[in-house]
């Protein structure tokens, strides 16, 4: 039987020379792959209270929407700066070159809500750390952070675990 990793395509030299881009669109496009990924992302949290799923732009929206539907809970997007129409709170984080900002609507999460944070891929952990900070500034309690792919050599998992977050990833690429 195919594993989640088997459905992920690698594109060489995208978006820059030397990068092996792990492309989850081939996983999402396959009905068995999509179901396998969503089921496995949720495996560790069966029986736990989750009030909302938070998805990180952009591929975290695809996963987060499917999880929200599966659990019959709400979905909250964390977006890049300037995309959300209502009042927001913001967090800046470092990229390889320069900085970026992520935002969430300031009324999207209520204090004490149990939150699952999801994205397709964990590299440095900078995006997830900034997203987690936004959730916590609104009083949300992070149950876990779930990813399809972990790139362990880049160190994001250790960074987030050192901050006390529970990390779940379906596969790794060196
Ligand atoms: C990718 C990926 C994660 C993030 C991981 O998104 O989907 O969100 O990078 O990297 P990090 O762990 O080093 O923060 P990208 O920034 O390419 O944005 P996009 O999904 O909007 O294309
Ligand atoms: N984001 C950071 N590194 C990546 C990679 N190798 N593939 C896909 N997305 C990424």
pLDDT tens readout for residues 74-101: 999 999 999 999 999 999 999 877 899 9
Q: How far is the CA of 47 from the centre of ligand 2 (A)?
A: 32
Query: So what's the pLDDT on residue 67?
Result: 98
Q: What is the ipTM of this complex?
A: 0.96
Which ligand is the nearest neighbour of the Cα of 126?
1
Which residue, among 34, 30, 19, has the nearest Cα to 69 in the 3D structure?
34
* Nearest alpha carbon, ligand 2 atom 5: 21
Confidence of residue 154 (pLDDT cuts 50, 70, 90): very high
- Per-residue pLDDT reduced to its tens digit, 102-125: 999 999 999 999 999 999 999 999
Q: Percentage of the chain with pLDDT > 70?
A: 100
Q: Is the pLDDT of residue 140 over 80?
A: yes
Confidence of residue 43 (pLDDT cuts 50, 70, 90): very high
Specify which residues 117 forms β-bridges with: 54, 145
Q: How far is the CA of 107 from the centre of ligand 2 (A)?
A: 31
Strand 141-150 relative to strand 167-172: parallel, antiparallel, unpaired? parallel
Question: How far is the C-alpha of 82 from the C-alpha of 26, rounded, in Å?
Answer: 29
CATH architecture designation of domain 48-172: 3-Layer(aba) Sandwich (3.40)
Query: So what's the pLDDT on residue 95?
Result: 87
* Cα–Cα distance list, 80 to 58, 90, 94, 159, 167 (Å): 9, 9, 13, 22, 23
Ramachandran category for residue 164: left, alpha or beta (phi over 0 → left; psi -120 to 50 → alpha): left
């Amino acid at each position: 039987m195919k594993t989640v990793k088997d459905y992920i395509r690698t594109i060489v030299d995208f978006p820059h020379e030397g990068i092996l881009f792990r492309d989850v669109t081939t996983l999402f496009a396959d009905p068995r792959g999509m179901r396998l990924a969503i089921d496995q992302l949720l495996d560790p949290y069966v029986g736990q209270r989750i009030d909302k799923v938070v998805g990180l732009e952009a591929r975290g929206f695809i996963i987060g929407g499917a999880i929200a539907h599966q659990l019959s809970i709400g979905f909250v997007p964390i977006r890049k700066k300037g995309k959300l129409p209502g009042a927001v709170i913001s967090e800046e984080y470092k990229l390889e070159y320069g900085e970026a900002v992520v935002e969430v609507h300031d009324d999207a999460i209520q204090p004490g809500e149990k939150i699952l944070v999801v994205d397709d891929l964990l590299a440095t952990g900078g995006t997830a750390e900034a997203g987690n900070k936004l959730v916590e500034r609104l009083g949300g309690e992070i149950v876990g952070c779930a990813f399809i792919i972990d790139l362990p050599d880049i160190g994001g998992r250790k960074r987030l675990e050192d901050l006390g977050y529970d990390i779940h990833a379906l596969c790794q690429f060196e």
